[in-house]
Every structure is written in structure tokens, then in C-alpha cells.
Structure 1
Amino acid sequence: MHFLAAILSSLSSSVTSLFGKLSYVLGATPTQILFIRFSISFIISLIIFLIFKKSFKIKYFLIFGFLGVLNYGIAAYLFFYGLNFLNPAFATVIFFTNPIFVLIFQWVFHKYKINFLSIISIFISFIGVVLANIGEANLVNDNTIIIGTLIVLGSSSLNALFITITGRRIKKINSGTIENVFYTFFGTALYYLFFSLITKELFSIKYEYLNYGFMLAIFSTFVPLTLNFFALKKLESHSLAIIMPLEIVFASLLSYLIFGEIFNIIKVLGFIFVGIAPVIENIKKIKDGENA
């Protein structure tokens, strides 16, 4: 069930680039889109928080609010900024090195014992991501590549840190998924409110931005994070990180259905690698389930 939740999270996240591009066509800036996206996500989570009559706990707000800023604030902005130097395909390859960082952080901070299947699955997943995007990479010059790569690696490592910390915290504390999601979006919404006020981009938001912002809030933000927090109750952080690149597969399938994108053999092979990586990482669990 938790494994399926992680896959459904990747499926839901796959519409991010679609609605993001449509938002940019309308003239919205990254800050404006992110502000709308997380403000709406916060409102939705607040309504659910109140419906279920949850009590506000400042300790958990400080923890998950900070984590929200770390991932959805700083890491997300670094990725968007990195796109100024790299094309989206190559930036995606760099970003999905995050399972490697997750495994390193688990080993450094939590003394997690790295097993052979985890290492193999991460390697296969990354090779799959590279193959899936190799035909689309259109690099410019070495200096640009180095700058952009370092920026996106920074985004990837912060995202990995977010997954690692939340994976451990969620298993230890008493708060449920509803509270954790609410606290995360509360902190992130405050961050982007403050940021958009400083840049004065808040005052130039147009009404037409709200439609795609709402879609991003639902399908790219609220649903994926809720499913991920639920999945992390049982899954290890690196297991979730290995499933995340499935977003590329789902996004490409949507592009095929909506825009008629053509697949080549290398890209399909990459999809296969990305798809089998989570299965390899969970072989032991699958066998244990069969023998139970």
C-alpha cells in the first residue's frame, strides 16, 4: 500500500512541467507560480486540518515548516534558477541523482546499513534517467554546464536532505499525515509570501495565473506530498527517492498523449531501467511478502 502510494505520487507530480510551462506562456514568473501553488496548497491543507479538528503544535510546525522551506523553497528555487544554464532534460538528469545523496545522508546521519540491492537499484535508476534524456540534451558551453550543474546538484542534495530527515521524523513522532502536510505548506506559504513581497512580484500577479496555479497546487503539490508522507511511514527514504524518477516516465507518456511526443529506443530503454529499479530495491520485501 505504501509502495503504491509512492508510485501514485510520481504519477501526480508528472504534470508539473506541463502546467508550469503553460503558466510561463501566460507570463507568470517562477516566484509568482510558486507563491500561488503553495498558498493554495496551504489553504487546502488548512481546511482539512480544521475538518479533522487537529490541534496546532508549534514544535511540529517549526520542524516541518523548516523542512518545507528547505525543499519547496530553497531547493525548488535553485532548480528553477539552474534552468537558466541547462536545458530541462539535462537538469532533470542532474536532479535525479538525489537517491545517491539520500543514501549518503542516511549512512552519515543515521548509520543506515547500505545493502547491495540498494546500491544496484540506485545505479540502474540513474542510468535509466540518463538514457531517458540523452537524446534531448543540448549542451552549450563548458562554463555554463559547470555553473548550472552545481546549482542543480545543490537543489538535488537539499531535496535528498528533506527526504532523509522527514523519513526519520515521520516514523518517530506522533503527528499524522494531515498535520505534517499542513505544517509543511504553512511554512512554505509564509516563505513565498515574504519572498514575493521583497521582490514585489506579489503585486503583479494576474487572475489568469490562478487556474494553472490551482492545478499545480493539487496535482503537483498537495497530492504528491500527502502520498509521500504516508509512504514514508513504512518505506525507507532512499526507497522513496528511487521511485521518484518514475515521474519522468509518466510525464513523457502524458506528452505523448497530449502533444504526440515520439519515443526512440534509447528513451524506452531508459524508462525500463527507471521502472525496474524500485522492483530490484524491494526484491527482499516482495519475497518476504510471498513467504509470509
Structure 2
Amino acid sequence: MHYLFAILSAFSSSVTSILGKYSFNIGASPSQILFLRFLFSFIISGIIFIFLGYKFDFKKFLLYSVLGILNYGIAAYAFFVGLQYLNPAYATVLYFTNPIFVSFFQHRLTKRKINIVNIIAVALSFVGVIIANMGERAFGNNESIIFGTLIVLFSSFVNAIFIVSVSEYIKQNESKPFESVFYTFTGVFIYYFIFVIRTNEIYTLNGRYLLSGFVLAILATFVPLTLNFFALKKLQSHTLSLIMPLELLFASILSGIFMNESFNVLKVLGLIMVGMAPIIDITGVES
């Protein structure tokens, strides 16, 4: 069941880059769409928090708020900025180098030895990124692609820190997924509320952005994070990070259908290599 939660989370998350790209096309900025995304996520999780009768715990709120801002305030913002320069499926390919970063951080925390299989996985992942990058350059400005690539890789790196950190806390018996989700979204909502006020972007919000923000809040935020928290009660963070790259497949299919994204041999080859790297890496973990 916990594996199914992780797979469903990957499927739900696959709409992130599609809806993000659509939001930019209708004029929304990264901070505006992220503000709406977490406004609705805060409201939805808050209703469930009250309905289940949880009592507010400031220590948990502080912990999950900090972790949430790390992932959704820094990593998500960086991803959305990079997405402005990249096609959705390619940005997703770059983002899902994060299993390699997760493996590295777990090694540092648990002192797990890195063997030759793990090294091969790291090499395969980054060679895949380079090849996919070469394929993507055929469709756009090289300088923009390089900048977007670096930004999304940074997002992937920060997300890995979040996954490993939250994995340690969510396994505690007193940790409840719906409660943790509420604290996470509350902190992130406050963060983006302050952000859009300071940048005056709250005054240029358009009603056309509401639907994208609402759907992102449900399909790309509340549902996948809740499912991940349930999955992490039993699964290790490196196992979850292995399953999440299934989003590559889902996002590529959706990009081709709804965004008419172009593909060539190099892009497809790079996508396959990045997707295979975590599978090889987990083999090294279990051997």
C-alpha cells in the first residue's frame, strides 16, 4: 500500500510543470502562482486539520514550516524560475536527478557505504542530463537553457535535503501525516504571503490565475505531499526517491499531449538514462 501511495503521488505531481508553464503563458509570475498554490493548500489542509480535531503544536509547526519553506519556498521557486526557460518534460528530467542527491545525503547521515553500483548510477544520471541538455538545445536559446538547467538542478538538490530531513521526523509514532501537511503548508503560505506583499505582486493578481493555483494546490501539492508522508511512515527516503521519477514518464506524456513539446533522440535517451539511474542506485543500496 505504501508503494501505491508513492506511485499515485508521482502521477499527481506530474501536472506541476504543465500547469506551471500554462500559468506563465497567461501572465502569472512564479511568486504569484506559488502564492495561490499554497493559499489553497493552506485552506484545504486547515479544514481537514480542524475536522480531525487536531490541537495546534507550535514545536511541530516550527519544524515543518522550516522544512516546508526549504522545499516549497526555495526549491519550488527555483524550479518555477527555471521552468520559464525550459520545456516541461525537460525540466522534469533535470529535477529528478534528486535521487542521487538523496543517496548522498543518506550516506552522510547514516554512514552507508557507497559502492561501485552507486557510482555508476551517479555517472549515468549526470551523463543523461548532459545528453538531454544537448537534445534540448536544438529547440531554443542555448544561454537560456544553460541558466534554466542550473536553476532546476539547484532545486533538485534542495528538494533532496527536504526528503531526507522529513523522512527522519515522519517516522516518529506521534507524527500524523495530515497534521504535518497542515503545518508545512501554513508556514509556506505565510512565507509567500509576505513575499508577494514585499514585491507588490499581490496587487497585480489576476482572476485568470485562480484556477491554475487551485488545481496546483490539489494535484501538485496537497495530494502528493500527503501521500508521500503516508509512504514515508514505512518506506525509506531513497526508496521514495526511486519511485518519484515515474513522474518523468507521466510529465512527458502530458507535455506531448497538452503542450506539443518537441522530442528528439538525444532528449529521449537522456530521459531514459536519468530514469534508470535511481533503479541502478537502489540495487547498490540493497546489495
TM over 0.5: yes
Tell me what 1:50 maps to. Answer: 50
1:62 to 1:94, Cα distance in 2 relative to 1, 3 A: same
- Identity over the aligned pairs, expressed in percent? 56
The SS at the match of 1:137 is: helix
* C-alpha contact 1:13 1:220 (8 A) present in aligned 2: yes
User: 1:84 deviation in Å?
Assistant: 5.9
Deviations 1:223-252 (Å, cap 9, x if unpaired)? 111111111112211222222222121011
Tell me what 2:28 maps to. Answer: 28
TM-score, normalised relative to structure 2? 0.84
The SS at the match of 1:44 is: helix
Tell me what 2:61 maps to. Answer: 61
Query: Hey, what's the Cα distance between the residues in 1 that align with 2:279 and 2:82?
Result: 31
Query: Hey, what's the Cα distance between the residues in 2 that align with 1:3 and 1:118?
Result: 22
User: 1:94 deviation in Å?
Assistant: 3.8
Q: Please identify, of 166-175 and 221-230, the stretch whose mean Cα deviation from structure 2 is larger.
A: 166-175
Query: Hey, what's the Cα distance between the residues in 1 that align with 2:255 and 2:148?
Result: 25
Give the count of matched residue pairs.
286
* C-alpha contact 1:239 1:278 (8 A) present in aligned 2: no
The SS at the match of 2:251 is: helix
* C-alpha contact 2:31 2:192 (8 A) present in aligned 1: yes
Query: Hey, what's the Cα distance between the residues in 2 that align with 1:279 and 1:56?
Result: 40
User: 1:133 deviation in Å?
Assistant: 6.4
Q: Please identify, of 168-177 and 262-271, the stretch whose mean Cα deviation from structure 2 is larger.
A: 262-271
Q: Please identify, of 244-253 and 104-113, the stretch whose mean Cα deviation from structure 2 is larger.
A: 104-113
Tell me what 1:220 maps to. Answer: 220
Alignment of 1:115-194 (within 5 A): 135-138=135-138, 140=141, 148-172=148-172, 174-194=174-194
Deviations 1:133-189 (Å, cap 9, x if unpaired)? 6533347557x6665554433322211100010011111351211011111101100
Q: Does 1:104 align with 2:111?
A: no
Query: Hey, what's the Cα distance between the residues in 2 that align with 1:193 and 1:87?
Result: 28
User: 1:255 deviation in Å?
Assistant: 2.9
1:149 to 1:134, Cα distance in 2 relative to 1, 3 A: closer
1:29 to 1:258, Cα distance in 2 relative to 1, 3 A: closer
User: Unaligned 5+ residue runs, structure 1?
Assistant: 287-292
* C-alpha contact 1:132 1:270 (8 A) present in aligned 2: yes
User: 1:259 deviation in Å?
Assistant: 5.1
User: 1:272 deviation in Å?
Assistant: 5.3
* C-alpha contact 2:11 2:250 (8 A) present in aligned 1: yes
RMSD over aligned CA atoms reads: 3.2
1:169 to 1:113, Cα distance in 2 relative to 1, 3 A: farther
TM-score, normalised relative to structure 1? 0.83
The SS at the match of 1:252 is: helix
User: 1:115 deviation in Å?
Assistant: 6.1
User: Unaligned 5+ residue runs, structure 2?
Assistant: none
Tell me what 2:195 maps to. Answer: 195
Q: Does 1:78 align with 2:78?
A: yes
User: 1:21 deviation in Å?
Assistant: 2.0
The SS at the match of 1:159 is: helix
Query: Hey, what's the Cα distance between the residues in 1 that align with 2:14 and 2:68?
Result: 20
* C-alpha contact 1:129 1:245 (8 A) present in aligned 2: no
